[in-house]
Each structure stands twice: as structure tokens, then as C-alpha cells.
Amino acid sequence: MAHRVCPWWLGRFLASPIRRWLMDQAPERILAPYVRPGMTVLEPGPGMGFFTLVLARLVGDSGRVVAVDVQQKMLDGLSRRAAKAGLASRIQPRLAAPDSLELADLANQVDFALAFAVVHELPEGHSFFSEVARAMKPGTILLLAEPSGHVKAEAFAAELAAAKAAGLDVSAGPTIRRSQTTLLAKAAISL
């Protein structure tokens, strides 16, 4: 999956509290409508944990955050920050394979997924969305956000097409400054 991947050394800046101010991206405001205690949350591309630590607080002691990255140095930074914040027991860092997130053990277990500024770094989105969709429970939401400066409208439309092809329904997402966003839902099973 390594394709134009954000360098690990930039992870410190991306996890910095300055990001909240400079980019007006407050994780609590963005995530609180979707995450509840006890949930299993999937976060591909967590970097050093800008959103991960907030997700861990929101899922509480009975929940978990599965944070999957292709760079061990990002996961090491995330683990250090999680330990310092007393949240390490709620976060499961995982190193992805170059061509797979390796989520087979999570089939139909994920209650919420967050893909923030990550899909554009992949060589193609279809396998990403297929793997994430298989991990999601029916009715689960994936919040997709891509940086407007890196991802143009045509590229975002291609990502949405890949998500639809993977069986995810597209709906309007929250407004996040400097981002293109959408909510993707795995269809609920009807009886």
C-alpha cells in the first residue's frame, strides 16, 4: 500500500496540538457524533495519533481502537503518546502489509471507521474500501476526509466510486475545514 506515503518524521507535526489551531481540526468535535463507549473503532493511517488518542478516550475502558499503519515508526510514536496519556490498553497498533491492511480477524466487528487524509496515499482505493467494508458491521459508518489541497474533486470522486464498488453507500459528511468529507455506510441487513 505504500504510495506517496507521508514521511514518518512529519508525524510529529500532524499529531501536534498546533494542528487544532492552524487547521481548525478539533478531533473531539469531529468524532463525538459517531463514537460511543464500548465501540470497536478502526483507524487506518493513524500516523502518531492525532485522532487516535481522542478515539481511545471516546470508546472508554470497554472499547478499543485498531490503528493500522504501513510505517512502524508512526506506530512507535503513537504507542509512546498513548502510553504517556494512559490510553495504551485501549489502542491496538498494527503494522499493515504493503498490499493489505490485514483485517480478516475483524470481519463484521468494527462499529465505526475513520479514514482521515489516508486514501489518497494508496495506489488504488478499491482494495482499501473492500477490506474496510468487510471489517465493518452492517449499518456502520466510515468517515472519509481528504485534504482539499492534496486531493482534487476528480480524485475524490474516484475514491467515492471505489467505495461504492465495495458496497458502501455515500451520504453527506460533516464540514471539516480544508477537507472534502463524506460518510460511507455499510448497508444494514434487512430481514
Q: Is 149 exposed, middle or buried (0-12, 13-18, 19+ CB in 10 A)?
A: exposed
Provide the H-helix boundaries in the chain. 11-14, 18-23, 27-31, 52-59, 72-84, 125-135, 153-165
The arithmetic mean of pLDDT across residues 64-86, rounded, is: 94
User: Residue 65: how many CB atoms within 10 A of its CB?
Assistant: 30
pLDDT tens column, 79-101 = 999 999 999 999 999 999 888 99
Dihedral sign, Cα of residue 69, residue 108, residue 59, residue 86: negative
Each domain of the chain, given as residue ranges in start order, spans: 24-186
The larger pLDDT score, comparing residue 118 to residue 59, is at 59
pLDDT exceeds 90 at position 55: yes
pLDDT exceeds 50 at position 21: no
Q: At 190, give phi and psi (nearest 5°).
A: -105, 140
- What residues have CB less than 8 Å from 4, skipping those under 6 apart? 120, 121
The arithmetic mean of pLDDT across residues 149-153, rounded, is: 83
The domain made up of 24-186 is a member of CATH 3.30.465.10 = no
DSSP state of 65: E
Q: At 169, give phi and psi (nearest 5°).
A: -90, 140
Cross-sheet strand order for the sheet of 64-69:
91-95, 64-69, 40-44, 110-116, 136-147, 179-186, 168-172
Q: What per-residue confidence (pLDDT) applies to 57?
A: 97
pLDDT tens column, 153-173 = 999 999 999 999 999 999 988
Distance, in Å, from the CA atom of 28 to the CA atom of 51, rounded to the nearest integer, reads 8
Of 90, 104, 173, give the one whose Cα is nearest residue 133.
104
